[in-house]
Amino acid sequence: MDSVDVTLDSVWPAELRTDRLHLRPVTSEDAPLVGQLLTDGRVRAYLGGPLPRERVAARQAAYSQTAGHWALVRVTDDQAVGLVSIGPDHRCEGRAEVSYQLLPSAWGNGLGREAVNAVVRWWSAVAPGGGPVIAVTQAANTRSRHLLESVGMVVLDEVTEHGARQCLYSPGGDEDDSDVRWVRLIASRLDEVERRRGAQARATVAGRRLPEDLAALSPEEMAQLCPASHGAYGRICARATDHAPDLHLGRAPDGEWIAWRTSRPV
């Protein structure tokens, strides 16, 4: 298997397009964007905080000269609104890591999801010898975790870095079949990631009306819902009583949307 750097050098430069984005290699003209991202407290909230001026200058110079760094350009107005990159993962030789940063003005409309999905698919297609790919985000960064799970990534491991718990994600279902250990690790986390992935969107109409306080449900309302796990774990399935019982969707006692398979806790 080639190193990530060797693989990147063989396929770079590369331009990618999604419905709403043009991903092009970072240039020196993107220095203001890089500076804005690296010094914005909201962008850097889970990345160790804003960087000092000298480190920003170094990154501005390096990004435009290093393979694997794209600027995210919004097609509608030709504005660069973020960065996404792929490069060697320092934790594991031969593994690639995807990272991403968007301006707050571009949050909340799926642009980050489009960008990350495009890069992961590109890497799988053009770099079959480039090894597995991961993305790492703080466990507390729910926005970033939802993004990764929305493109089909699952939690492979959790590590402590920079004084905080980090979740290590990898694409589910796209693993190299020859890497048995990797496949097994992915499979062991599939149930866990279902807790957060798409539950609300796939719930029934009755389920979407479930109140955050589950105690507010009347006996008649409860009778219309699947009875799975109403007691032991405090979870109420939002599916109708006659649905197939392999995947349950609903609210946890704290009001958060969750999903679980069969009757096992997640």
Domain for residue 11, yes or no? yes
Residues 81 and 116 in one domain: yes
> Residue 185 belongs to a domain with what CATH number?
3.40.630.30
Instruction: Quote the CA–CA distance of 143 and 125 in Å, as a whole number.
Output: 27
Does one domain contain both 206 and 189? no
Residue 216 resides in a domain:
yes
Residue 189 and residue 221 in one domain: no
- Spatial contact of 206 and 253, defined as CB atoms under 8 Å apart: no
pLDDT digits (tens, 9 = 90+) for 82-134: 999 999 887 777 789 999 999 999 998 899 999 999 999 999 888 776 567 88
Q: Which residue has the tokens 């997640």?
A: 266
26 and 117 housed in the same domain:
yes
Do 186 and 205 sit in the same domain of this protein?
no
Final residue of a structural domain among 174, 193, 212 = 193
| 143: nearest Cα among 185, 184, 111 | 111
Question: Which is nearest to 170 in space by CA: 160, 184, 156?
Answer: 156
Residues 139 and 239 in one domain: no
Give the number of other Cβ atoms within 10 Å of residue 100's Cβ: 22
Q: Please check whether residue 155 lies inside any domain of the structure.
A: yes
Q: Of 193, 210, 232, which residue is a domain's last?
A: 193
CB-based contacts of 174: which residues, under 8 Å, 6+ apart? 120, 124, 152
Domain encompassing residue 19: 4-193
> Strand pairing of 133-138 and 96-102?
parallel
Number of domains in the chain: 2
pTM over 0.75: no
Q: Same structural domain for residues 206 and 186?
A: no
Look at residues 193, 212, 228 and tell me which one is the last residue of a structural domain: 193
83 and 180 within one domain = yes
In this structure, is residue 171 part of a structural domain? yes
Q: Tell me if 248 sits within 8 A of 191, measured CB to CB.
A: no
pLDDT in tens, the chain (266 residues): 568 888 898 899 999 999 999 999 999 999 999 999 999 999 999 998 999 988 999 999 999 999 999 999 999 999 999 999 999 887 777 789 999 999 999 998 899 999 999 999 999 888 776 567 889 999 999 999 999 988 888 887 787 887 888 988 888 644 444 344 444 455 455 545 444 444 444 455 555 566 656 567 777 777 777 766 554 455 667 776 666 556 677 766 556 666 666 544 33
Please check whether residue 266 lies inside any domain of the structure: no
93 assigned to some structural domain: yes
154 and 122 in one domain? yes
Residue 206 shares a structural domain with residue 134: no
Residues 148 and 36 in one domain: yes
103 and 151 in a single domain? The answer is yes
Query: CA 143 to CA 46: how far, in whole Å?
Result: 11
Residues 6+ apart with CB under 8 A from 117: 18, 151
H or E stretch covering 161:
strand 153-161
Nearest Cα to 234, choosing from 218, 213, 219?
213
